[in-house]
Amino acid sequence: MTSSDERINYLDHAATTPVRPEVLGKMLPYFTEKFGNPSSLYSLAGEARYGIDEAREQVALVLGCRSGEIVFTGGGSESNNLAIKGSAAMRSPAGGHIVTTAIEHHAIIHPVEQLEKLGYEATYVGVDRTGKVDPDEFAAAVRADTFLASVMLVNNEVGTIQDVATIAQKTREASKLLGGKVLIHTDAVQGAGKLSLNVSDLGVDLLSLSAHKIYGPKGVGALYVKRGVELEPLIAGGGQERQRRSGTENVASIVGFGEAITLAESERIESRGRMQQLANKLVEGVAERIPDSSFNSSKTDRVPEISNFSFPGVEGEPVLLGLDFKGIAASSGSACSSASLEPSHVLLAMGIDPALAVGSVRISFGRETTETDVNDVLQALKDVLDQLATFPSAQN
């Protein structure tokens, strides 16, 4: 285990990121001299309200939408839940059909499963070996009573990019032919700072974001809600966020979110080449040093920041513990379930053998990742796997 004064080679940016100094600096005044409640009328409250308004404009600028279409939430999971449950609750009588995929984040799958227990129906469209959804297959799952279709932009475990724009177009066409009207939602939490989030180009009605994936604070996110789309709020009370999300706003975090997404977007294109070079070095290095490893993603249609590998004959947990002992922080997949020894639902949906899926490791880069970091993890992975092969009892 590394000591507190040693640098950790942090390679789990898909799980969370540190708050950037520029973001923290923007937030700090809202904990102290600008602490007012934005709903009040005096000038102190006006300063807080201005901070929220500015952040809303910043998010809207990145998404290419109106500021009034941005709803601030408590994070990506809440945004997903609001999109799913909020649209379902608008149906009268209750019921209907949802189309999503088998590799969504649990913040999509679990709310949909909750609705199924209430009488709603859902179709979980499968993916190929690289985690790609076939747009035609997705659209073919639409029924006349399909009111919501949700497909993530970037998978959080394997980094695969979905063609959301084509899926949205084909899904709408299928719904229209059946006399229906479907809303298109995308979980874009892992796409921020990596891909364009222009909602018109994506063709979506709803889009979820989270600040802590882009060097902003934890506990704040946003949901884009296209003008004219009505959602039943999950939280009722004071009527904040235009009646869509009650509760006194987390002003400092919202301000931090606005700064974080502005910085992430401004650096997005410039960082792409460097990230791709690092990803190529990692993937080629693992294949060379560990020939029996498996690369669990598309080599072309993925973000280079996220790489997922499986190693036969081992479980992910001892590999991660071995890496941690060497000062390297990585993950076994989704951060929300990385402590579980169950194989990833994403990898299983991709057709990966369960015995191989339990030996998966996700390595995800960030803005400070260097070639030295990649070299270190390549050597550490080889060392840890060699040690586990020498001591097979460690797997029991």
Residues carrying an active site annotation: 336
Contact 119, 94 (CB under 8 A): yes
Distance CA 330, CA 178 (A): 46
Which residues, in sequence order, are CB contacts of 87 under 8 Å at separation 6+? 147, 148, 183, 185, 206, 229, 231
Of 296, 282, 287, 291, the closest CA to residue 371 belongs to 282
Neighbours of 344 (CB within 10 A): 27
Contact 157, 344 (CB under 8 A): yes
3-class state of residue 264 by DSSP: helix
Q: In three state form, how does the secondary structure of 212-248 look?
A: HHCCCCCCCEEEEECCCCCCCCCCCCCCCCCCCCCCC
3-class state of residue 207 by DSSP: strand
3-class state of residue 73 by DSSP: strand
Which contiguous run of DSSP H or E holds residue 350? Answer: none
Tell me the H-state helices in the chain: 21-27, 43-63, 76-88, 106-117, 135-140, 164-177, 199-202, 251-289, 316-325, 345-349, 354-357, 371-390
Distance CA 103, CA 126 (A): 8
Of 321, 308, 285, 287, the closest CA to residue 365 belongs to 308
Tell me the H-state helices in 7-42: 21-27
Rounded to 5 degrees, what are φ and ψ at 71?
-115, 120
